[in-house]
Amino acid sequence: MLSIKNLHASINGKEILKGINLEIRPGEIHAIMGPNGSGKSTLSAVLAGRELFEVTQGEVTFNGKDIFDLSPEERSREGLFLSFQYPVEIPGVSMVNFMKTALNEHRKHQGLESLSASDFLKLMRERKELVEIDSALTNRAVNEGFSGGEKKKNEIFQMAMLEPKLAILDETDSGLDIDALRIVANGVNKLKRPDNSTIVITHYQRLLEYIVPDFVHILFDGRIVKTGGKELALQLEDKGYDWIKNGEE
């Protein structure tokens, strides 16, 4: 599904990712944990194709394609989805219009016809129920005036609409209360299939109680310094990041 080899990336000449290696197969859930500034969000941004960052070395293939040959929108249409840590507001653009444009781009890429208005609305209704998002939200402009929790739910709703092969959840738990966290996690779990994969980027072990990972990677100073099963997250929670930092020294 996704293969990252020796990935280096920098911003304004400062190297943030210093040789990431990661292999993700269909059906797997990987958690990436790490302290602030370790490069977690940079990794997700680089994978999604944000031009802010410069890739200086390494290769990434997604479904066998060199990801750096693809524009951000092509990566999306190929099935890469990023749930943003801070989803932006787009005033004036209705969720319906936004989602319809996005979905039809994906369908076009797959050689499918655009959905009719009624089929689209039906699909939207279905997926809203699946991820338990408030109906009123989808009648508004994209993220405009949404609370932090609503924005995150809206990300998962969009994921449900686009059915990505690989979803990257960037700090999806930040700013969520426990109820919202459960709803978001339930949504992600319901969307899980044997042929899709998920990367959960998080600070805390809390989210991983709901979305149970197959692998946990600890990112520190731009490198994956430790990989283990789900128990690694608990260990980390216990000992704190100092354990890793000290281990490095």
Site string for other proteins, 4-33 (x = CB under 8 A): ------------------------------
Q: Tell me which residues in 124-143 interact with other proteins (CB under 8 A).
A: 141-142
Q: Of residues 205-234, which lie at the interface with other proteins (CB under 8 A)?
A: none
Q: How far is the CB of 245 from other proteins (least distance, A)?
A: 32
Task: Work out how close the CB of 51 gets to other proteins at its nearest, in angstroms, rounded to a whole number.
Answer: 5
| The binder of other proteins chosen from 52, 112, 117, 212 (CB under 8 A) | 52
Write phi, then psi, for 141 (nearest 5 degrees).
-70, 155
Judging by DSSP bridges, how do beta strands 29-33 and 197-202 pair with one another?
parallel
Do 223 and 231 contact (CB within 8 A), yes or no?
no
- Plot region of 230 (φ>0 → left; ψ -120 to 50 → alpha; else → beta): alpha
End-to-end CA distance of the chain: 34
Rule CB under 8 A: choose which of 109, 165, 182, 206 binds other proteins: 109
> Of 20, 60, 81, 152, which one interacts with other proteins (CB under 8 A)?
81
CA distance 92 to 94: 6
Interface mask (CB under 8 A) for other proteins, residues 169-188, using x and -?
--------------------
- Residue closer to other proteins by CB (options 97, 139) is 97
**Residues sharing a CB contact under 8 Å with residue 133, sequence separation 6 or more, in sequence order:** 153, 154, 156, 157
Query: By CB under 8 A, is residue 85 in contact with other proteins?
Result: no
